[in-house]
C-alpha cells in the first residue's frame, strides 16, 4: 500500500525497527521478556511442593537430566503403566518380557546404534559449553519470530527451517546456523561447527575390561535377540507381538525442559512381528472409523495444518503405509485419551525421509501439545526386516519364521554351487564366512545379478561381507549359480516389525500439564487442582473425620480399612485443619473423591462423598460406600449417575 501511494518504504521499515527495539527494551525493563508461562510456572512449583518430581541428588545440587519421582508422581506413573498393560498386553495377548538394560556392544554395533545413534552438537568457542545444535537453532528462530518487523515471507521461511531443524545434515545445519547468525544462548559467543556426538553410555562389563557394553538406548534389542525363543513359545504361529517396560538411557547433550529431555527414562515398547508382504491386521475393522489428526510429511511446510482422517481412509489413500501401523496408531490414541490427554492437543506427525531412523521405512510420532510446544511422546515405526536381518547376518543364527502353505507349490530359486574342496585351502579360517556370504548372495536377487555379471565378465569379484566389512576375492572356479525348481510345502521368511514406542516420562509430564486447573482464577493464593481420571489418580479417596472425636476416629479407621481391603488407595487425613483446607490439599494431588465423616454419622450411619472437579456432594450409607467408590474409581459408573441417585448434600 505504501508503494501504491508513493510512500517511503525504507523510512517505514526503519521506523518499525525503532519501535521494535523500544518495545524490547520496555519489555526487558518490566520483566515481561523473561516471564515464564504462568501455567508452567505453577506446575513446576506444584510438582516440587507436593513431591511429584524432584531433581535427583537434590541436596548435592542435582545433575541435569536426572529426576526422582516422589509418592504421588510414582503412583501416577505406575497407574499409567497398569492401564498400558491392560490396554495393550492383555487386550492384544502380547508376550511380555524383561531383558537386561546392560547391553553387549556387539548387539548395538549390529543394530546400527554405535555408528548412527548420534545428535549434532556445537560448543561455545570461549567457554566450551555444549549445545544440541538443532535445539539451539530452534531457540534462535523462536526469538526471531517474536520481532514485530519480520515480513510474512521471512516468517514462513523461518518456520520451515524450524520444522526441519532435526532433519538437517551436518553441512546443512552449519550453513543455516551461519546464515542466521546463531550464537551461544547463554553468552552470545560464537559457536563451533556442528559435530556428531554418540548418545550412548558406554561401560566395561567385568573387571578384565575386555568385554564392552552400553546402557541400552531402547528396550527393543532385547526382544529381537530373543525372537527365536518367543516364536517357539508361540508354537511358531505368526503374527505375534512382544512387549517390554523398562529403563533406557541416552547421554543427552544439554538436557533441559524437565521430564521431556532426560538421561534416564522409562519406555514401554511393542514389537509386532508380521509377514513383510502381509501387513493387514485382523482387528483393523474395530478401529477403521477412528479419526486421527494426521500431519503427513508432505504437509510439513511451516504451517503444519493437520487433517482429521479415519484410519480406513488413511490406509486406503496410502497416507499410512499399512493396516498394522494404522491399527497401533489408533490404539495409541485411545490409550492417551483414556489416561486424560486432551484430544485437541494430540496429533500424529509423519517423519520426513531426511529424519527417518536408520531402521525405519515409515514412522509416525504421536505428539502432544504443551507449554513447550509439540512434544513427541510415542513413536510408531515400521522397522521392516532390518533388525532381525542384521542380527541373523552377524550371528549366523536363523531368525526366520515359517509360512506353511495350504498346498505344496513349485518354487524357483537360485542355488550357489560352491567348490568347498577349494574354499578351505584358499580362505582357511574364513572359509565358513565366505560360504555363508555366497549363499546369502544367491538368495538375494538385488545382490546376485551384479555379482554374477561381474564374475562372468571379469572372472573374478571382490566380495564384501556386510557385517564385518571383510573383502574376499572370488574367482569363477570357486562358485557357480544354478536355477533350481523344487516342490515346497512352505517358505521361511524374515518377519517385518511394527514398533510402537512410548516415552512414559514425557506422557506423564504432558498429562500433568493437561490435567492442571485453577479453582476460581484470580483468588490468592491460587487453588490448584489436578483433574486426573480416577484410574490414574495417585490416591483415589481421602477419608476426612470432622474432628478427633473418638467415635468419629473409630468410624474413619474402619472405613479406611474397608477401602484398603477393596484395593482402593486411601489417605486418612486426621489433621486439625479446616475441612476446606483438607479438600484443597487433596485436590492438589488429584484425589478424585473425599469422604467426610461428620457428627451425624454415628447416628444415621451416613457419610458425605465429595467429587473433586464439580465439588458436588452426596449422602451415602456407610455400608454402601466401599462398593460405590470401587465402581466410581474403576469407571463402572459415572459421577453423574451417582449424583442423581443419592441425596445431594450442600
pLDDT in the model for residue 393: 87
Nearest to 485 by CA among 411, 537, 535, 425: 411
User: What element of type H or E holds 148?
Assistant: none
Mean pLDDT of 188-196: 95
Mean model confidence pLDDT for the chain: 91
Distance, CA of 294 to CA of 326 (rounded, Å): 11
pLDDT-derived band of residue 628, with 50, 70 and 90 as boundaries? very high
pLDDT-derived band of residue 10, with 50, 70 and 90 as boundaries? low
In this prediction the pTM is 0.86
pLDDT-derived band of residue 28, with 50, 70 and 90 as boundaries? very low
More confident residue, 212 or 445: 212
pLDDT-derived band of residue 27, with 50, 70 and 90 as boundaries? very low
- The length of the chain, given as a count of residues: 650
pLDDT-derived band of residue 33, with 50, 70 and 90 as boundaries? very low
pLDDT-derived band of residue 333, with 50, 70 and 90 as boundaries? very high
User: 505-560 pLDDT, tens per residue?
Assistant: 999 999 999 999 999 888 888 899 999 999 999 999 999 999 999 999 999 999 99
467 has a pLDDT exceeding 80: no
Please list, in sequence order, all residues whose beta carbon lies within 8 angstroms of the beta carbon of residue 264, skipping any fewer than 6 positions away: 65, 66, 247, 248, 249
Least confident piece of the model among 26-40, 189-203, 251-265: 26-40
The Cβ-side half-sphere exposure at 199, using a 13 Å CA radius, reads 23
pLDDT in the model for residue 551: 94
Mean pLDDT of 448-472: 86
Mean pLDDT of 204-219: 94
pLDDT in the model for residue 22: 55
173 has a pLDDT exceeding 70: yes
pLDDT in the model for residue 31: 42
Counts of helices then strands in the chain (DSSP H, E)? 22, 28
Least confident piece of the model among 103-107, 202-206, 277-281, 354-358: 354-358
Domains, the chain, ordered by start: 68-115+214-299+311-400+494-519 (3.30.930.10), 118-198 (3.30.40.230), 407-491 (3.30.720.200), 539-645 (3.40.50.800)
pLDDT in the model for residue 349: 97
pLDDT in the model for residue 422: 87
Mean pLDDT of 259-285: 96
189 has a pLDDT exceeding 80: yes
Tell me phi and psi for residue 489, to 5 degrees: -100, 0
Nearest to 507 by CA among 344, 375, 328: 375
Q: How distant, in Å, are the alpha carbons of 92, 293, 539 from that of 284?
A: 12, 18, 36
- For residue 277, the tally of other CB atoms under 10 A from its CB is 8
Burial 107-129 (b: 16+ CB within 10 A, else e): bbbbbebbeebebbbbbbeeeeb
Provide the 8-state DSSP code for 81. Answer: H
229 has a pLDDT exceeding 80: yes
Instruction: Give the whole-number percent of the chain exceeding pLDDT 70.
Output: 94
Least confident piece of the model among 260-274, 405-419, 601-615: 405-419
pLDDT in the model for residue 303: 76
Please list, in sequence order, all residues whose beta carbon lies within 8 angstroms of the beta carbon of residue 118, skipping any fewer than 6 positions away: 196, 197, 198, 199
User: 138-165 pLDDT, tens per residue?
Assistant: 999 999 998 878 888 898 899 889 988 8
First to last CA, the chain: 63
Distance, CA of 221 to CA of 353 (rounded, Å): 23
User: 284-328 pLDDT, tens per residue?
Assistant: 999 999 999 999 999 987 778 999 999 999 999 999 999 999 999
Mean pLDDT of 555-568: 98
β-strand partners of 203: 213
User: What element of type H or E holds 517?
Assistant: strand 516-519
What is the DSSP code string of 152-174?
A: HHHHHHHHHHHHTGGG--HHHHH
- For residue 329, the tally of other CB atoms under 10 A from its CB is 23
pLDDT in the model for residue 510: 98
237 has a pLDDT exceeding 90: yes
pLDDT-derived band of residue 29, with 50, 70 and 90 as boundaries? very low
Give the three cell numbers for residue 198: 554418540
Quote the Cα angle for 3-9-11, to 5°: 150
pLDDT-derived band of residue 30, with 50, 70 and 90 as boundaries? very low
User: 36-70 pLDDT, tens per residue?
Assistant: 677 788 999 999 999 999 999 999 999 999 999 99
Under a CB-based contact definition with an 8 Å cutoff, are residues 364 and 349 in contact? yes
Amino acid at each position: 500500500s505504501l508503494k501504491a501511494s508513493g510512500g517511503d518504504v525504507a523510512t517505514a521499515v526503519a521506523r518499525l525497527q525503532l519501535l521494535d527495539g523500544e518495545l524490547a527494551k520496555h519489555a526487558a525493563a518490566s520483566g515481561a521478556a523473561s516471564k515464564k508461562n504462568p501455567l508452567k510456572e505453577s506446575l513446576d512449583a506444584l510438582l516440587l511442593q507436593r513431591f511429584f518430581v524432584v531433581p535427583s541428588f537434590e541436596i548435592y545440587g542435582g545433575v541435569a537430566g536426572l529426576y526422582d519421582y516422589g509418592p504421588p508422581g510414582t503412583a501416577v506413573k505406575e497407574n499409567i503403566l497398569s492401564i498400558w498393560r491392560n490396554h495393550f498386553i492383555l487386550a492384544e495377548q502380547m508376550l511380555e518380557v524383561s531383558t537386561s538394560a546392560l547391553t553387549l556392544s556387539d548387539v548395538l554395533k549390529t543394530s546400527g546404534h554405535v555408528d548412527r545413534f548420534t545428535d549434532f552438537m556445537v560448543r561455545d568457542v570461549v567457554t566450551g559449553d555444549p549445545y544440541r545444535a538443532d535445539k539451539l537453532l530452534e531457540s534462535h528462530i523462536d526469538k526471531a519470530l517474536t520481532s514485530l518487523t519480520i515480513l510474512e515471507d521471512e516468517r514462513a521461511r523461518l518456520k520451515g527451517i524450524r520444522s526441519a531443524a532435526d532433519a538437517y545434515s551436518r553441512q546443512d545445519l552449519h550453513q543455516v546456523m551461519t546464515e542466521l547468525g546463531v550464537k551461544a544462548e547463554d553468552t552470545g559467543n560464537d559457536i563451533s561447527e556442528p559435530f556428531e556426538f554418540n548418545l550412548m553410555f558406554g561401560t566395561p562389563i567385568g573387571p578384565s575390561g575386555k568385554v564392552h557394553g552400553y546402557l541400552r538406548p531402547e528396550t527393543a534389542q532385547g526382544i529381537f535377540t530373543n525372537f527365536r525363543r518367543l516364536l517357539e513359545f508361540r508354537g511358531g504361529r505368526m503374527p505375534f507381538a512382544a512387549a517390554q517396560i523398562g529403563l533406557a538411557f541416552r547421554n543427552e547433550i544439554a538436557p533441559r525442559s524437565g521430564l521431556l529431555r532426560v538421561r534416564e527414562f522409562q519406555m514401554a515398547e511393542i514389537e509386532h512381528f508380521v509377514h513383510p508382504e502381509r501387513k493387514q491386521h485382523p482387528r483393523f475393522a474395530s478401529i477403521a472409523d477412528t479419526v486421527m489428526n494426521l500431519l503427513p510429511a508432505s504437509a510439513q511446510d511451516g504451517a503444519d495444518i493437520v487433517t482429521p482422517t479415519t484410519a480406513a481412509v488413511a490406509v486406503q489413500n496410502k497416507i499410512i503405509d499399512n493396516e498394522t501401523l494404522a491399527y497401533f496408531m489408533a490404539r495409541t490414541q485411545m490409550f492417551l485419551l483414556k489416561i486424560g490427554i486432551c484430544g485437541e492437543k494430540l496429533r500424529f506427525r509423519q517423519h520426513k525421509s531426511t529424519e527417518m531412523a536408520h531402521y525405519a521405512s515409515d514412522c509416525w510420532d504421536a505428539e502432544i501439545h504443551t507449554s513447550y510446544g509439540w512434544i513427541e511422546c510415542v513413536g510408531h515405526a515400521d522397522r521392516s526386516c532390518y533388525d532381525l536381518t542384521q542380527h541373523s547376518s552377524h550371528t549366523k543364527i536363523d531368525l526366520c519364521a515359517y509360512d506353511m502353505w495350504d498346498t505344496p507349490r513349485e518354487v524357483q530359486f537360485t542355488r550357489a554351487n560352491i567348490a568347498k574342496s577349494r574354499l578351505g585351502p584358499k580362505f582357511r579360517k574364513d572359509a565358513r564366512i565366505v560360504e555363508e556370504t555366497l549363499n546369502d548372495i544367491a538368495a538375494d536377487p538385488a545382490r546376485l545379478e551384479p555379482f554374477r555379471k561381474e564374475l562372468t565378465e571379469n572372472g573374478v569379484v571382490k566380495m564384501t561381507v556386510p557385517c564385518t566389512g571383510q573383502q574376499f576375492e572370488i574367482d569363477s572356479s570357486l562358485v557357480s549359480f544354478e536355477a533350481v525348481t523344487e516342490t515346497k510345502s512352505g517358505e521361511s521368511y524374515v518377519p517385518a516389525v511394527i514398533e510402537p514406542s512410548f516415552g512414559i516420562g514425557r506422557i506423564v509430564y504432558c498429562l500433568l500439564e493437561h490435567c492442571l486447573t485453577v479453582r476460581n482464577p484470580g483468588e490468592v493464593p491460587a487453588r490448584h487442582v489436578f483433574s486426573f481420571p480416577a484410574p490414574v489418580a495417585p490416591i483415589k479417596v481421602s477419608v476426612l473425620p470432622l474432628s478427633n472425636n473418638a467415635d468419629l476416629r473409630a468410624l474413619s479407621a474402619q472405613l479406611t480399612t474397608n477401602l484398603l481391603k477393596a484395593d482402593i488407595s486411601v489417605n486418612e487425613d486426621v489433621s486439625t485443619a479446616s475441612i476446606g483446607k483438607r479438600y484443597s490439599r487433596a485436590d492438589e494431588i488429584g484425589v478424585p473423591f473425599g469422604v467426610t465423616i461428620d457428627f451425624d454419622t454415628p447416628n444415621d450411619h451416613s457419610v458425605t462423598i465429595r467429587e473433586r472437579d464439580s465439588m458436588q456432594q452426596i449422602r451415602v450409607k456407610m455400608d454402601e460406600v466401599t462398593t460405590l467408590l470401587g465402581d466410581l474409581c474403576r469407571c463402572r459408573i459415572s459421577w453423574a449417575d451417582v449424583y442423581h441417585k443419592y441425596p445431594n448434600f450442600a
